Amino acid sequence: MDRSNIPESIKRAVRQRCHFGCIICGIPIFDYDHIEAYSTTLSHEENNIVLLCPFHHAEKTRGRISVNTVRKRSLKPFNRGQSFTSKTKIGIIEPDTFSVKIAGVIYTFDAMDGQVYPVLNIECLSYVSFTREHLELLPSIYVPDENGKIILQIDKGELALSTGVWDYNIVGKILRVSSKEHDVIISIRYEEEYIEIQKIRVKDAFGLKVESGGERIVLSAPDGSHLNVSFEDTETKNCCFLGTRRGAYWVSVNDFGHIHSEEYDNAFVDLLSVCKSIKDNDVKKEALAALSNRSRRSAPHADASEKLLEARMDLSETILPLVSDDDHLWKARARFNAATAKMHLALRNRSAGLALESLDLFCLCLGSMPEGYEETEKAQLLANVCRASAVCIKNEGVLDKTRIEFAVSCGRSALDMYERQYPRLTQVEWPNTLNTIADAKSFLEENL
């Protein structure tokens, strides 16, 4: 037996007795120190070993803290009677780009000062995120126990640990908290340019649980139902990971501010890649549909980038074969989104072919409009039949008189619906939309 070969069972007993922190200052970064020198005792007796932070360990080694002082402090460790250990900085790095790995997916962030990067959300609460401040990237990680009480918190890089946990250890680059033997709640590995969340288990106030380990995520609802999500190896940039809503799986892009920003477009494209990498088709369908529903700010529009329009079209076309033929509402909305993206790409690229494809899709949606379609969706559909027809003709496409007359009537109906049902919105929020529809209708009437 040598000086450094302390049995793990004794180390754990020492950590528990010292309440997971230095006996002098309480911070949860520590070394194991023999009160009486190992060279004298030649043994690893638990009562002769304490936790000292690197600073106080060095002070004792240099003789500036006496053996008697350490022995007295070991009888009343700093953290005894405290709910949490003292705080200490951990894992502070200064990269321009930074990566987080969780559940087999690697997220790479272009770290911008003042920007918050969420990684794991439940409902509106962020359990894992990173913040860039003054050239430092600061992790924020909050882990509750089964009763919702926080047992580990890293708040913008400041680590504090509940003294009531069963075990906590930090060895080299790995931090680990356990509720009992072989039951790890969180395990984090720190490297110079990335953090790997090897395992994490969190539970919100409503009883919804998220557990990640290896390349899988398990979502457990209060009713006992489970959802297993596994990912192929995927690398993304600038995107938020996942959240849960009463047991249903959803994903959402990080909010980078304005829809026109390149960062937001990249985030949307990357998150779409993550959704497509999900192996189970049912889960993939739910994730893709949720991405479509929750990222309404990225809906296709005339000023959207070509990258975003193509991603929206890809999203809709990926959903379509996954949706049951009986689910008419999903089918209709996916077709509408794909058609809208095609229409704006046709306008951008002056493509009569894309315009005609979008028009055919809009007409298909119009001819099989399902129950549950909202009035605003109907108005948008009618409007887009008119607009796609105008784009087609402007791009030197050919439409017969019957189709042009039909498009004009759709435009007229859309304007009537907007002005009748949404008078305030048409005057305050949608004047440009109405003008666009009216211009398309007038153009078509000139071409009759």
At 73-123, the pLDDT tens digits run: 999 999 999 999 999 987 666 666 777 887 777 777 676 777 777 777 765
Q: How far apart are CA 268 and CA 274, in angstroms?
A: 10
Identify the pLDDT of residue 87. Answer: 95
- Pick the closest to residue 313 from 279, 351, 278, 280 (CA basis): 351
- Bridge partners (DSSP) listed for residue 153: 142, 160
Element (H, E) at 249: strand 248-251
The domain made up of 304-448 has a fold known as 1.25.40
Give me the residue spans of the domains in the chain. Answer: 8-83, 87-298, 304-448
pLDDT at 388 over 50: yes
Contact between 16 and 161 (Cβ < 8 Å): no
Q: How far apart are CA 343 and CA 357, in angstroms?
A: 8
Regarding predicted confidence, which is higher, 287 or 387? 387
pLDDT at 297 over 60: no
- Indicate the SS3 state at residue 162: strand
Contact between 91 and 157 (Cβ < 8 Å): yes
Identify the DSSP state of 55.
H
Q: Return all residues near 225 (Cβ < 8 A) that are at least 6 apart.
A: 247
Identify the pLDDT of residue 282. Answer: 75
Tokens of 105: 């997916």
Neighbours of 117 (CB within 10 A): 25
Regarding predicted confidence, which is higher, 48 or 118? 48
**Overall average pLDDT of the 296-316 stretch:** 69
Q: How far apart are CA 106 and CA 101, in angstroms?
A: 4
User: What are the tens digits of pLDDT across the range 268-291?
Assistant: 776 677 677 777 777 777 777 767
Tokens of 284: 């993939």
In Å, how far are 33, 63, 218, 220, 300 from 225, measured between CA atoms? 47, 59, 10, 6, 35
Identify the pLDDT of residue 423. Answer: 59
pLDDT-based confidence at residue 380 (cuts at 50, 70, 90): confident
Least confident of 164-173, 217-226, 236-245, 252-261: 252-261
Residue with tokens 């600073």: 55
CA angle 129, 130, 135 (to 5 degrees): 175
- Quick one: how far is CA 380 from the chain centroid? 30
pLDDT at 71 over 90: yes
Q: How far apart are CA 266 and CA 54, in angstroms?
A: 43
pLDDT-based confidence at residue 253 (cuts at 50, 70, 90): very low
Q: How far apart are CA 177 and CA 135, in angstroms?
A: 29
Element (H, E) at 266: helix 262-276
Q: How far apart are CA 51 and CA 31, in angstroms?
A: 6
